[in-house]
A and B are shown apart, each in its own frame.
Chain A
Amino acid sequence: MKKAFTNLAPIAGLLALIILYFVLGTVKDINVTYGLKTIFNQSVVVAVVATGAVFIYTLGSFDISLGASTAVSALVGGMIYLKTENIWLMFLTCIGVAILVALLNSVLASVFNLPVFVTTIAMLSVLNALVLLLITINGTGDEIAVPGSGVGFLDNTGFKLAVLSFYFLFCLFCFNFTPIGRKEKLLGGNPLCAKLTGIDVGKYSIIAFVLCGIGVGLGAFLSIVYAPTLTRNTASSVGMDVIIAIVFGGMPVSGGAKSKIYAALIGAFSMTFLSQIMVMLNLNSGVGQMVKAIIFLAVVFIAAGERSRKTLPR
């Protein structure tokens, strides 16, 4: 019963937020359909990146460089478009750069036997420096501007929904219906046991990062589509939003067996609905951040509480 409650709480939370959004919208006579589009546009990049990040979190690892990686991938993609005017090349570049960064992270962690968290801190600094460098060298000094005429036709809900759906279903398949997800849950739950069950720790860590890299690349591409003028602030909040979304969605921070691929989607949309509701209630952004922080702590507390109860003897 408690297990079912913990599993269903994030979904129930999202449903409650959606209902509250419609009730407030009706009471305050706000155009909820337009609002929904805004919510989707604000959520989609975080939802895509966070869905891939679930593979890393399942291992019990923690990547804080995802936002910076999205920015660098978008900037390099944008530069390629400016040089070739080929949207397909831009797309492939975004994906390629993101996978390359992910591979660097995982290989560094494997080679030096360091916690992923540590290598991603170093990577975050490098990527942030790279963002400034790329804008300075290849743009106007403040921005790299991809012409709206080149990518504007993709800036619609249908395309973004298709990208999100395709990637989510791909990840869902890998996570729930192939040995990849099972092995990563085992690695997150007990790496030593996983090794003694023939699971190659390094290999599955790299697979997790590559799958996440695809999500980062897609997120970078969608960022260009949504806001083609790329600045040092492009995707700047994505890194932190991904972490919050994953926890909001009910993903245990320790990874392992309770990891859920849908946690990212639930979390990303819950966060944006919550923000939108607070705007509707005319609460300032400071109060909004505090409410988010309180909910964040509550979710972690409930998840941790359930685990501690399970350690009691019979």
Chain B
Amino acid sequence: MEKQEVILTVEHMDKNFGSTKALRDVTLSIRKGEIRGLIGENGSGKSTVTSIIAGMQKADRGQMTYEGKSWEPSSMIEALEQGIGMIVQESGTVPGITVAENIFLADVDRFKTGPVIDRKKMNKNAQDILDQIGAGDIDAAHITGIYDIQSRKLIEIARVMRKSPQILVVDETTTALSQKGRDIIYSIMKKMKKEGKSVFFISHDMEEIMEECDTLTVLRDGVIIRTFEKEEFDEDAIKESMIGRELEGDYYRSDDEGRLTDEVVMELSDVNLVGAEPLIDLNLVLHKGEILGIGGLSHCGMHSLGKVMFGALHPQEGKVTVWGRELKDEADAMNLGIGYVSKDRDTESLVLHAPIRDNIAAGGLDKISGNGFLITPKAEKDYVSEQIKNLEIKCQDMNQYVSALSGGNKQKVVFGKWVGRGSDILILDCPTRGIDIGVKQSMYQLMSRMKKEGKSIVIISEEMAELIGMADRIVILKDGQSRCELMRQDHPQEADIIKYMI
């Protein structure tokens, strides 16, 4: 294929955050009609370089050229007006306003007739944009806060796409989306490519990035390591470039034993839950030392199942018993040795504007205080330091705010909260969502170690490979009901699972 002209170049870019060098002498370019993947471990600089391109922040050094002219956007709004839009990693919608208002956020005035905003016209235009990107099931007139994380991401996409940008940055957006949402993003990217527009695509999903991208640039510690052309794509070579070494040890579990002990630690009997993600007549047991995988399509009920198992959602019928005792609420779950890692990490599992120390200690205040009352700074420091060391959390110190950590390290903090208090049962809802392969491997190794120690783990995931790789037993949910149960020793394949999911 003939190479098209370069639309944007970045030359010798540096960016520092305090003593952390986020970007070091980064030089890259993107051509018209190119989908450029950016890949690297958490904190490698992918989001930093693209956020500078999209006007979210400024570089400390270096030049950018866009369409042959010097490029120095003062804000994301200006960048989008000039043709560069970005869908950010974090939540970028305002929950208390309508979908249409979010889509036209800084541009609502265009619907003004005198002092009055023509809401009907604004809603109609917003609905048209949603329909165009394939998200027509979202109602532009509704309040944004009622929608789930996937729909809110689609609203963000609509906000960017209404300006028909020449360059689109997709920053780890697909991790928040189900297959349907991902398909919407892929079709937008392909359409843009066909129209001679360009895309920066950031993802930790090796399969999708190799499938969707024309070229792939690997960053490590703020430095560009290598750019792969499509014909050079090789998973092992890319992984090695990313982490600077070969992955040592097992990635998933190496054993194929799926034998279960007789001891049941948790039992769900005839559970019925009404709600957005209902559960119907669900019966399930979790054994001591078992890794139980729960899979299915988005909205199949698996995420509400995780909350039911932690006592955060109360079924209208049926009961959950742990060690033979009926589970009451979250505090009871913790007393019974259960820990819960939410799918929506930043919203439900972390206090972002709080230090690592507070977040990790939060799960173990009763352990730190010993007598349940007095917390000494030394006891707290020792407790938190141990988790930071054991989980190899990359941070300046325990007083660093969680909001300043990369996705993988944030997830390690959440794990620290539950592992530190010695939880016997861990419920992990999409535990490796949005984290790089290095951290993923360490999470999987941690789960394997915990299994060997006799702990029980429920892993809820939309990634088939993860379920097959880690679980002793996989339960597939569809429309809130259990559709099948597959044992590890039977070597289930993705195709076997998918046919029960859809």
Residues of A bordering B, CB below 8 Å: 177-179, 182-183, 185-186, 189-190, 192-200, 256-258, 307, 310-314
Question: B64-116: which residues lie under 8 A (CB-CB) from chain A?
Answer: 88-90
Query: Chain A nearest CB: distance from B430 CB in Å?
Result: 15
On whether A314 and B351 interact (CB within 8 A), knowing A196-B340, A197-B330, the answer reads: no
On whether A314 and B365 interact (CB within 8 A), knowing A190-B350, A190-B352, the answer reads: no
B312 near A189: Cβ-Cβ < 8 Å: no
A178 near B373: Cβ-Cβ < 8 Å: yes
Which chain A positions have C-beta within 8 A of B48?
313-314
On whether A193 and B351 interact (CB within 8 A), knowing A179-B365, A310-B403, A311-B403, the answer reads: yes
A182 near B354: Cβ-Cβ < 8 Å: no
Query: Chain A nearest CB: distance from B127 CB in Å?
Result: 30
- SS of B interface (majority): mixed
B330 near A256: Cβ-Cβ < 8 Å: no
Which chain B positions have C-beta within 8 A of A183?
362, 365
B348 near A179: Cβ-Cβ < 8 Å: no
On whether A193 and B17 interact (CB within 8 A), knowing A177-B374, A256-B354, A313-B47, the answer reads: no
Query: Chain A nearest CB: distance from B169 CB in Å?
Result: 11
- The residue from B90, B171, B366 contacting A179, defined by CB atoms under 8 A apart: B366
Instruction: Apart from A185-B351, A196-B310, list 5 A-B contacts with CB within 8 A.
Output: A179-B366, A182-B375, A190-B351, A196-B330, A313-B57
Question: B332-349: which residues lie under 8 A (CB-CB) from chain A?
Answer: 333-335, 340, 342, 347-349
Query: Chain B nearest CB: distance from A258 CB in Å?
Result: 8
Complex-state Cα separation, A244 to B331, whole angstroms: 36
Q: Does B281 contact A (CB under 8 A)?
A: no
Q: Does B185 contact A (CB under 8 A)?
A: no
- The residue from A177, A193, A197, A310 contacting B404, defined by CB atoms under 8 A apart: A310
Q: Does B56 contact A (CB under 8 A)?
A: yes
Please give me the 10 A-B residue pairs with the lowest Cβ-Cβ distance, nearest first: A257-B354, A189-B351, A198-B331, A198-B334, A179-B365, A190-B351, A313-B47, A198-B330, A189-B354, A313-B51
B51 near A195: Cβ-Cβ < 8 Å: no
A189 near B47: Cβ-Cβ < 8 Å: no
Q: Does B369 contact A (CB under 8 A)?
A: yes
Residues of B bordering A, CB below 8 Å: 17, 20, 22, 43, 47-48, 51, 56-57, 88-90, 171, 310, 312, 329-331, 333-335, 340, 342, 347-355, 358, 361-363, 365-366, 369, 372-376, 401, 403-404, 406, 417
Closest to B20 in A: A314
Complex-state Cα separation, A185 to B352, whole angstroms: 12
Which chain B positions have C-beta within 8 A of A256?
351, 353-354
Query: Chain B nearest CB: distance from A60 CB in Å?
Result: 11
Closest to B307 in A: A196
Which chain A positions have C-beta within 8 A of B372?
179
A197 near B43: Cβ-Cβ < 8 Å: no
Query: Chain B nearest CB: distance from A41 CB in Å?
Result: 35
- 20 residue pairs of the A-B complex, CB under 8 angstroms, read A177-B376, A178-B373, A179-B366, A182-B365, A185-B358, A189-B352, A190-B351, A193-B350, A195-B312, A195-B330, A196-B312, A198-B331, A257-B351, A257-B355, A258-B353, A310-B401, A313-B48, A313-B57, A313-B88, A314-B20
Query: Chain B nearest CB: distance from A178 CB in Å?
Result: 6
Which chain A positions have C-beta within 8 A of B366?
179
- The residue from A178, A186, A258 contacting B375, defined by CB atoms under 8 A apart: A178
Complex-state Cα separation, A311 to B57, whole angstroms: 11
B362 near A197: Cβ-Cβ < 8 Å: yes
- The residue from A177, A186, A200, A312 contacting B351, defined by CB atoms under 8 A apart: A186
Query: Chain B nearest CB: distance from A232 CB in Å?
Result: 39
Complex-state Cα separation, A196 to B51, whole angstroms: 32
Query: Chain A nearest CB: distance from B395 CB in Å?
Result: 12
Which chain B positions have C-beta within 8 A of A196?
310, 312, 330, 340, 342, 348-349
- The residue from A185, A197, A257, A312 contacting B56, defined by CB atoms under 8 A apart: A312
Which chain A positions have C-beta within 8 A of B334?
197-198
Query: Chain B nearest CB: distance from A6 CB in Å?
Result: 12
A313 near B350: Cβ-Cβ < 8 Å: no
A313 near B351: Cβ-Cβ < 8 Å: no
Closest to B407 in A: A314
Complex-state Cα separation, A194 to B365, whole angstroms: 12
Closest to B366 in A: A179
B330 near A257: Cβ-Cβ < 8 Å: no
Which chain B positions have C-beta within 8 A of A258?
353
On whether A179 and B333 interact (CB within 8 A), knowing A193-B350, A314-B43, A314-B48, the answer reads: no
Which chain B positions have C-beta within 8 A of A193?
347-351
Closest to A181 in B: B375
A179 near B404: Cβ-Cβ < 8 Å: no
Which chain A positions have C-beta within 8 A of B312?
195-196
A179 near B375: Cβ-Cβ < 8 Å: yes
- The residue from A182, A194, A198, A257 contacting B353, defined by CB atoms under 8 A apart: A257
Which chain B positions have C-beta within 8 A of A307?
353
Closest to A312 in B: B57
A310 near B353: Cβ-Cβ < 8 Å: yes
Query: Chain B nearest CB: distance from A312 CB in Å?
Result: 6
Closest to A187 in B: B351
Closest to B399 in A: A3
Closest to A192 in B: B348
Complex-state Cα separation, A200 to B332, whole angstroms: 11
Query: Chain A nearest CB: distance from B145 CB in Å?
Result: 13
Closest to B15 in A: A314
- The residue from B310, B355, B358, B404 contacting A314, defined by CB atoms under 8 A apart: B404
Complex-state Cα separation, A196 to B348, whole angstroms: 7
Complex-state Cα separation, A70 to B348, whole angstroms: 38
A197 near B363: Cβ-Cβ < 8 Å: yes
On whether A313 and B89 interact (CB within 8 A), knowing A196-B348, A198-B331, the answer reads: yes
Closest to B89 in A: A313
Complex-state Cα separation, A183 to B348, whole angstroms: 15
Complex-state Cα separation, A256 to B20, whole angstroms: 26
B373 near A192: Cβ-Cβ < 8 Å: no
On whether A197 and B89 interact (CB within 8 A), knowing A256-B351, A311-B403, the answer reads: no
Which chain A positions have C-beta within 8 A of B376?
177
Complex-state Cα separation, A290 to B404, whole angstroms: 37
B369 near A179: Cβ-Cβ < 8 Å: yes
Complex-state Cα separation, A137 to B43, whole angstroms: 69
Complex-state Cα separation, A99 to B262, whole angstroms: 53
Which chain A positions have C-beta within 8 A of B89?
313
Residue picked from B17, B57, B353, most chain A C-beta under 10 Å: B353
